[in-house]
Structure 1
Amino acid sequence: MILTVTPNPALDLTWRVDRLTPGATHRADAGALRAGGKGLNVARVAHAQGAPVLALSTAGGRSGIAFAADLAASGVAHRLVQVAAPTRQTVAIVDEELGDTTIVNERGANPTDAEWAALFGEVVDALPSARVLVISGSLPPGAPESFVPLLIGTARDAGVPAIVDTSGPALIRAAEAGASVLKPNAAEVADATGIGDPVGGARALIALGAELVLLSRGADGMLAVTADEVRQARLDAPLAGNPTGAGDAAVAACAVLYAQGVRDVDTVLRRATAWSAAAVPMPLAGDISDEWADLESRLVVASVLREEEP
């Protein structure tokens, strides 16, 4: 079973417009509402591909009621800790003409100490049945710095690998706690490590204690960085669409393989890149195209030379 934890969930609204013009008035059809947050997107993708999943998160306020109702309708097994603060909301505006997406994310409100403890308790209860733990998404402002390392350490004590997709100082703490896999993008690596070169930043995370860094690079594909090598996978041609859930699909691919006991770097890199690409044509985050196997067959995979090598 894949156990996902989403510390800062969101009720996602997606609008599609012909062309997004700053300062202008736009008309759109009714937007699509979905229970979101990166960990829940991971759970949706893995569930749709037949993997057993349990999604843990929080819900509160009016937005939390809509959030819980949509999640219940999804068929994804889940447990929600009720919190006092309303579940945050996000808006994604898809520009149909350019194929770009503009996103506005509420930061979210920090749960109380008792609410954090309740979420941690749900993780502890579920870990004995888990094959992999996924901690995915941002943390709300004021979240305890110990939360992500505590989850990783608890999982390691239970013999469960942890896959973490987060940003900022939490990314550093996840590496120091010994996360099995980190899945940042280039901007997140630079922000967390202060190193402008993405490969150099990924290596710094490996040096801190992470085993594997899957580095998203948008249209340029993905890198897999370990202590020994750097591998790159990319499509033979870029895809147009909504990239909002592409990174979450990559995490889902990694989680599914890790839950099956697969650790081969090239296999993980290929599947993560293919599922990431397969998310781009889909209207909503948390879905991937059935054509992902064809996309995987089109991948170009190669080693990346170290700077000191000729």
Structure 2
Amino acid sequence: MEATAAAKPILTLTVNPALDISTTTETVASGHKLRCGPSRLDPGGGGVNVARVVQRLGGRPLAIYTAGGPTGEAYRRLIEAERLPSLVVPVQGSTRQDFTVDETGTGKQFRFVLQGPELSEPEWRLCLALVADTIQPGGYVVASGSLPPGVPEDFYAQVARLAREQGARCVVDASGPALAAALAEGVFLIKPSRRELGLHFGTVLDSEQSELDAAMALVADGTAKHVALTLGGQGAVLASREGTLRLAVPQVRVRSTVGAGDSFLAAFVLRLAQGRPLPEAFRSAVAAGSATVTTVATELCHREDVERLEAELAAQDFGA
């Protein structure tokens, strides 16, 4: 997955990053001290994870993210250690933490996702200003992750408008009102899960046909040019005006699903930025998401694993 001089720039935006803490314990039970194993820290949050994976796969992204308080300082140090090109928006509140516990006795994973600090209007408007200043025509803007308190529901819609005005492609990975507002503005690509897309339409997607119909409905009405619907262990579906593609995931040992969706999106956007055909980008996305689930806790995919799985998937036929 080589980066080329012709690759289009990729800008990511994360307004609610999280310092990811992960550990293990034998059994999660109430009323007792839970003795844990070694812990690890990772800089998490949708857009930042996308940028980290793009960089691991040979791309050169630029990540915009907010940071504040002691956890924000720790977060910044982790980003700097990875030498990820970034712009930081200082905020008064403290960057949130997310906590993941793997129960070794059962193999279950427990994920605690905190709310995040409230952003003032000057803080979230500064995020938009940085996006406006750094968007490059023909490039990609990936707005990903939850919105913290204080940020309006149409925030990603405003990002999409900025991208369109400057001739860039906006990619949104969000849910609920934030996704609905972005779609009303019109975006290049969204990456919902089956549950998120079902909630958008107020229904349950319980069959392959219902999945295809929901994804194609957004393409047909022009709110999204492409819809990449992720289905966990059942693979993924891609809908666009060219039609639909379905791809199963390769057989891998699942250790943790944290960051799989972000890795999927990162590989997809990077391949498109490199000028690769849509089906090839889709295959790379499934490979990256699958590679991430083989890693422990909050670790993300590794390039060699992505390339190996991509080769395996190249032998598969796409389904419709």
Normalised TM-score (structure 2): 0.88
Match of 1:13 among 3, 6, 21: 21
Q: CA deviation at 1:119?
A: 0.9
- Matched letter for residue 210 of structure 1: A
Q: CA deviation at 1:282?
A: 1.4
Aligned: 1:275 with 2:288 = yes
How far apart, CA to CA, are the structure 2 residues paired with 1:129 and 1:176? 22
Which residue does 1:256 correspond to in 2? 270
Is the deviation greater in 94-103 or in 223-232? 94-103
Q: Is the 8 A contact 2:13 2:63 kept in 1?
A: yes
Query: Which structure 2 residue ranges, 5 or more long, are not aligned?
Result: 1-8, 206-210
Aligned: 1:242 with 2:256 = yes
Q: CA deviation at 1:179?
A: 1.1
Q: Is the 8 A contact 2:120 2:150 kept in 1?
A: no
What is the SS of the residue equivalent to 2:318? strand
How far apart, CA to CA, are the structure 2 residues paired with 1:77 and 1:236? 32
- Relative to structure 1, the CA distance from residue 238 to residue 24 in structure 2 (aligned partners, 3 Å threshold; closer, same or farther) is farther
Q: CA deviation at 1:230?
A: 2.2
Q: CA deviation at 1:19?
A: 4.6
What is the SS of the residue equivalent to 1:171? helix
What is the SS of the residue equivalent to 1:28? coil
Match of 1:230 among 233, 244, 248: 244
How far apart, CA to CA, are the structure 2 residues paired with 1:216 and 1:194? 18
Which residue does 1:308 correspond to in 2? none
- Relative to structure 1, the CA distance from residue 220 to residue 86 in structure 2 (aligned partners, 3 Å threshold; closer, same or farther) is same
What is the SS of the residue equivalent to 2:135? helix
Q: CA deviation at 1:168?
A: 0.7
Aligned Cα root-mean-square deviation (Å): 2.0
Q: CA deviation at 1:236?
A: 4.3
Q: CA deviation at 1:173?
A: 1.8
Aligned: 1:112 with 2:120 = yes
Is the deviation greater in 213-222 or in 167-176? 167-176
- Matched letter for residue 86 of structure 1: S
- Matched letter for residue 268 of structure 1: A
Which residue does 1:90 correspond to in 2? 98
Q: Is the 8 A contact 1:41 1:286 kept in 2?
A: no
Match of 1:56 among 60, 64, 69: 64
How far apart, CA to CA, are the structure 2 residues paired with 1:221 and 1:273? 7
How far apart, CA to CA, are the structure 1 residues paired with 2:309 and 2:163? 33
% identity of equivalent residues:
31
- Matched letter for residue 280 of structure 1: V
- Matched letter for residue 283 of structure 1: V
Is the deviation greater in 236-245 or in 62-71? 236-245
Task: Within 5 Å, give how 1:122-141 maps onto structure 2.
Answer: 122-128=130-136, 131-141=139-149
Which residue does 2:216 correspond to in 1? 203
Query: Which deviations, in whole Å up to 9, do the C-alpha atoms of 1:72-124 show, x marking residues without a partner?
Result: 11210111111111111100112345444211111113311100111111111
- Matched letter for residue 93 of structure 1: V
Query: Which deviations, in whole Å up to 9, do the C-alpha atoms of 1:270-304 show, x marking residues without a partner?
Result: 01100000111112546213222221233344333
Which residue does 2:226 correspond to in 1? 212
Normalised TM-score (structure 1): 0.91
Aligned residue pairs: how many?
Answer: 303
- Matched letter for residue 134 of structure 2: A
How far apart, CA to CA, are the structure 2 residues paired with 1:168 and 1:23? 35
Q: CA deviation at 1:57?
A: 0.8
Which residue does 2:47 correspond to in 1? 39
- Matched letter for residue 82 of structure 1: P
